[in-house]
Structure 1
Amino acid sequence: MSTAVRWAAFGCVLAPVVLVVYGASAGGVMWVAPVLAAVTGICRLLLRRAERGGATGARSAAGDVPR
C-alpha cells in the first residue's frame, strides 16, 4: 500500500472525528468519510490514467511509438 493511500485513509477517518469534536452532529457527518473515500479513489484513478496516458502521449509526440 502506498504512502498516499495510507494518508488518504487516515484523512477519511480523521475528518469526521474532527467535525464531531468541533460541534457537528454525528448524524450530520456520516456522509463525510464515504465522500472523501470516493473522491480519493477517483483522484487515484485519474492520476494513474494521466501517468499512463502522459507517457504514451509524450512518446508518440516524439515519434518513438511505431504506427
Structure 2
Amino acid sequence: MKKKKNKEILDIIKAARKLSREEEIKLHGKPINQTKIVQSKKVYNRNKLKNNIIQDSQHQ
C-alpha cells in the first residue's frame, strides 16, 4: 500500500512542477534557470585573464 501512495504523491508533485514551469514560461516568455549560479563580472578569474592576454598577443 505504501508504495502506491508514494507513487500517487510523486505524480501530484510532478504535475504541480510542470504547471508551475508552464506558468513561468508564459510569464517570462522563456524558461528561467533556477539552479544555475550567475557569476559576477567583478570576480577575479585567472583563466579568463590569461586567455585575453593570449588572444591579444596573437592579433598583433
TM-score range, shorter chain: 0.3 to 0.5
Task: Select the structure of larger CA radius of gyration.
Answer: 2
TM-score normalised over the length of structure 2 = 0.46
TM-score normalised over the length of structure 1 = 0.41
